[in-house]
Chain A
Amino acid sequence: MSSEIVQAASRRAAAIALIIGFTASVAVRVHLDREVKRQTTPVMYVTSGETLRRLSFGYQGLLADLYWTRAVQYFGRQKLSGTGDFGELGQLLRITTELDPHLLIAYRFGAIFLAEKPPAGAGSPDEALALIRRGIAANPSYWRLWQDLGFIYYWDLKDYAQAARAFETGSRQPGADLWMKTLAASVAAEGGEFETSRLLWSEVYSQAANESIRRSAEEHLAAIKAAEDIEQLNRLLAEFAQREKRPAVSMEDLVRAGVLSGQPVDPSGVRYQVGPDGQAVLGPRSRIDLRLAH
């Protein structure tokens, strides 16, 4: 009987020790997280994807997924930090694609991460081009990579001739969408036009695999729309000045003159204004970044 009591007491003591020990260790861990500045730069013990592939014993696919996840998390963390330092991104993407040359998402979105201007991205279109070219070499019949190549030439390098060539080559790949041919012609004829830019960003938006890329595409599309609106408003302001023999001081003037049916608003819902130079500008509360339109 006494041994049963001892056993029950020891079980109770062990259970209490387990609960207290676990709770305390979690509390200490949380405290450590606050105290110690967490290392944000990924540590890469092996920098060659080829070596990692050899050491993976057939599990290179899983390793590539882990490296891609590291690249995504690194990009997100650095983007949030706002430092514009994406020094390890290229290497993480290179290792990922060397481990699994058919991991298409790593080329496609990795290139967007690399090419985007700082602080939103690494601002390294040349690295992005190299990544996409490696992707094309490993997946020659996948036409979307040609679309991405053309996109980088068009948007980040403003090299419309190369962009048109990339879209054209992509349009000849098996299964390529018909609009690739249209895009190739449109870029060749009117590179830099808003309509072409909108077509490109709409495609990025429709294929976005995560919220960050979708939001970026939305911001670009909004900026393109605002830039178009401002161009149109400037034309109307010029017409008004010519007709009324005086410049408009506010959009209200255009509404009163019947040129506009109502106060024009930008895609973020803020009214456009007339600037001191008589040109249309965004309102001070506007969330649109016009630099994204070009």
Chain B
Amino acid sequence: MSRIAAIAVHTFKESVREKVLYNLVVFAFLMIGAGLILGTVSVGINEIAFVNLGLSAISVFGLLIAVFIGISLVWKEMERRTLYNVLSKPVARAEFIIGKFFGLVLTLAVNTAIMTAGFYLVLWYEKGRLAAPDLAPLEAIYFILLQLTLVVGVALLFSTTSSPALSAVFTLSLYVIGNLLDDLRVLGEQAGSGGLRGLLRLLSVVLPDFGAFSDIAPAAHGELVPGGRIFTHSLYAVLYATVLVSATILIFERKDLR
């Protein structure tokens, strides 16, 4: 356990040294600020536009951080040959992968927390005070974090099997497909052939449902998420992340590192 924690902390420290991380966070802050301008050039949507743009910025830049740091997590260790140093010590490959996963999730959580603080600071400045419906964006941000956890899992999985460029393409493609699962399900229901119907139905259940974590628009209207939905979505994210990390471990265990 302490070895996993040590790798996670090391991964976190290594991630925060990446300059791209700071650039992305700065851009996220710029976009959060731009939400104030969008509201003023429109009519009657000051707060809605600010919340929509702010949360979208947190989500998009979180996604970029998850993908671009996640895809190089294992690959970089292999390229620099630092992986051999780590594995020559009493560290199991599984521990290495789990540590890497939690390290990046920690990085994303800290980044998201910083962006959230910036978001609420501007919201407070704009409104003068914060009330109960202002908790809705916080719930949406929690859902974004759950979604990013799954993206990290996917990026980590591809990072053990492909180069960073290919991993980025695969991860982003899966992200796109994972946002269109409802359509995949509908397509399946409309498919003429039984085999195709079954395949599409299977894919819509098996692939990660990134679209399920999209809660930005209701949050902009101050709609709170029912407690039951928070629980089921959290459970789904934990279970699916377990599947992704387990699959990564299985692949990594069989990988010939000589």
Does A102 lie within 8 Å of B53, measured CB to CB? no
* Interface flag for A103 (CB, 8 Å): yes
Give the nearest-CB partner of B219 in chain A: A61
- Whether the Cβ atoms of A68 and B183 lie closer than 8 Å is no
- B41, A65: Cβ atoms closer than 8 Å: no
Question: Which of B42, B213, B217 is within 8 Å of A61, CB to CB?
Answer: B217
A158 proximity list for chain B (CB < 8 A) = none
Identify which of residues 64-121 in chain B touch chain A, using a CB-to-CB cut-off of 8 Å. none
Q: Render A90-104 as a binary contact track against B, CB cut-off 8 A, 1 for contact.
A: 000000000010110
Residues in chain B near residue A103, CB distance under 8 A: 45, 48
- Chain B residues with Cβ below 8 Å from A59 are 52, 56, 59-60, 214, 216
Contact A65 B53, beta carbon cutoff 8 Å: yes
Complex CA gap A266/B110 in Å reads: 64
A54 at interface by CB-CB < 8 Å: yes
- Of the candidates B42, B59, B183, B223, the one whose C-beta lies within 8 Å of that of A65 is B42
Find the residue from B48, B60, B183 having the highest chain A CB count within 10 A.
B48
The reply on A201 being an interface residue by CB < 8 A is: no
Contacting pair A62 B43 (CB below 8 A): no
Listed residue (A58, A59, A72, A210) with the most chain B CB atoms within 10 angstroms of its CB: A58
Given A54-B180, A57-B176: A62 touches B41 (CB 8 Å cut-off): no
Q: Categorize the interface residue count of chain B.
A: 20 to 34
**Bound complex: CA of A64 vs CA of B216, how far in Å?**
12
Residue B49, interface by CB 8 Å: yes
A 3-23 contacts with B by CB, 8 A: none
Interface string of B28-61 (1 = CB under 8 A from A): 0000000000100111110011001100100110
Residue B179 at the A interface, CB < 8 A?
A: yes
Q: Which residues of A contact B213 (CB under 8 A)?
A: 58
Pair B45/A65 contact, Cβ less than 8 Å: yes
Q: Which of A58, A72, A209, A210 contacts B214 (CB 8 A)?
A: A58
Report the tally of A-B residue pairs with Cβ distances under 8 A: 70
Interface residues of A in 51-102 (CB under 8 A from B): 54, 57-62, 64-66, 68-69, 72-73, 100, 102
A109 at the interface (CB under 8 A from B): yes
Q: How far is the CB of B84 from chain A (nearest CB, A)?
A: 39
Q: Does A105 contact B (CB under 8 A)?
A: yes
Q: How far is the CA of A72 from the CA of B41 in the complex (A)?
A: 9
Q: Is the CB of B44 within 8 A of A105?
A: yes
A210 to B40, CA, bound (A): 11
**Are B179 and A57 touching (Cβ within 8 A)?**
yes
Contact between B179 and A58, CB atoms less than 8 A apart: yes
Chain B contacts for A72, CB-based, 8 A? 42-43
A61 to B210: give the CA distance in the assembly, Å: 17
B217 close to A102 (CB less than 8 A): yes
Asked whether any CB of chain A lies closer than 8 Å to the CB of B221, the reply is yes
Q: Mark B187-224, 1 if CB is under 8 A from A, else 0.
A: 00000000000000000000000110110111011010
Q: When the two chains form their complex, are residues A65 and B176 in contact, meaning their CB atoms are under 8 A apart?
A: no
B44 and A58 form a contact (CB under 8 A)? no
Contact status B216-A62, CB under 8 Å: yes
Chain A residues in 8 Å Cβ range of B56: 59, 61-62
- Give every chain A residue within 8 A of B176 (Cβ-Cβ): 57
Given A54-B180, A69-B38: A60 and B44 within 8 A (CB)? Answer: no
**Chain B, 214-243, contact with A by CB distance < 8 Å: what is the 0/1 string?**
101110110100000000000000000000
- Contacts A64-B217, A65-B52, A102-B217; is A58 near B59 (CB within 8 Å)? yes
Question: Are A210 and B52 neighbours in the complex by a CB distance under 8 Å?
Answer: no
When distances are taken between beta carbons in the complex, the residues of chain A under 8 Å from B183 are 54
A105 touches B43 (CB 8 A): yes
* A100 cross-chain contacts in B, Cβ below 8 A: 217
Enumerate chain A residues within 8 angstroms of B220, measured Cβ to Cβ.
61
Contacts of A102 in B (CB 8 A): 217-218, 221, 223
A105 to B44: give the CA distance in the assembly, Å: 7
Q: Which of B43, B213, B220 has the most CB of A within 10 A?
A: B43
Contact mask A182-211 → B, CB, 8 Å, 1/0?
000000000000000000000000000110
Cα A52 to Cα B221 with chains together (Å): 20
Which residues on the B side are within 8 Å of A68 (C-beta)? 42-43, 45
B53 near A62 with CB under 8 A, answer yes
A54-B214 Cα distance, complex, nearest whole Å: 12
A89–chain B nearest beta-carbon distance, Å: 14
A69–B45 CA distance with the chains assembled, in angstroms: 9
Given contacts A59-B52, A66-B38, A69-B42, 8 further A-B contacts (CB under 8 A): A54-B180, A57-B175, A57-B179, A58-B214, A59-B59, A65-B48, A209-B43, A210-B44
- Interface on A for B, CB 8 Å cutoff? 54, 57-62, 64-66, 68-69, 72-73, 100, 102-103, 105, 109, 209-210
The interface of chain B, by Cβ under 8 A from chain A, is 38, 41-45, 48-49, 52-53, 56, 59-60, 175-176, 179-180, 183, 210-211, 213-214, 216-218, 220-221, 223
- 4 A-B pairs with the lowest CB-CB distances in the bound complex, closest first: A58-B214, A61-B217, A209-B44, A105-B44
**Pairs across A and B, CB under 8 Å, 6 listed:** A54-B183, A57-B175, A62-B53, A65-B42, A68-B42, A103-B48
